[in-house]
Structure 1
Amino acid sequence: MGLLEANCSGLEQLAAECRSRGAVLGAPSAAGPMGMGWQPTAAAVSSANVGVARTSLAMADRLHVTAADLTTAAQQYAMTDERSAVGLRALGPEA
């Protein structure tokens, strides 16, 4: 940490949580066949399962993008903190 000591651990923890939840949502589900394929209810359930799977994957992708953005933000805050500390040190002890 630089002189200002920006604490980026909260962003890093949130990024880790997003990655973890994204992994869970992106994992394949174990939805098996529901009755005979020609039954209207079985077809409806199968269609719903496909929709849920697509939505889960979209949410998982979004969580992974958010995790990457949070990680980048934490790194940028740390770099800004360090640059600011260098600038303040350059002003001398009386500044």
Structure 2
Amino acid sequence: MSKEQKLIFNSIDLSEHEMYKLLIGSVIPRPIAWVSSKSKDGILNLAPFSFFTVASRNPPTLLISIGPGVHERMGSIKDTLTNIREVKEYIINMV
């Protein structure tokens, strides 16, 4: 691409899937966090999350963003989110 050329993306023109692909392709290398949680029935769950970051250094806080995955049905809720809401505990494991 020459210096005179540029790509312009208007978020209004992109589908949710296209925006997701643009975002995950823009942040590289993209670290993965493994979030472990337990259901109210004691079932263990371990799930990878690429949407996580440092939210604060004081107090030290990590942030994960939990939304439906690209291949999941609209309106579905991940087991991780259900477990966090019900049990109120989880661990962010950084690789």
* TM-score above 0.5: no
Higher percent of residues as strand: 2
- Higher Rg: 1
- TM-score, normalised relative to structure 1: 0.22
TM-score (norm 2): 0.22
Task: Write 1 or 2 for the structure with the bigger share of helix.
Answer: 1
Pick 1 or 2: higher relative contact order, CA cutoff 8 A, min separation 6.
Answer: 1
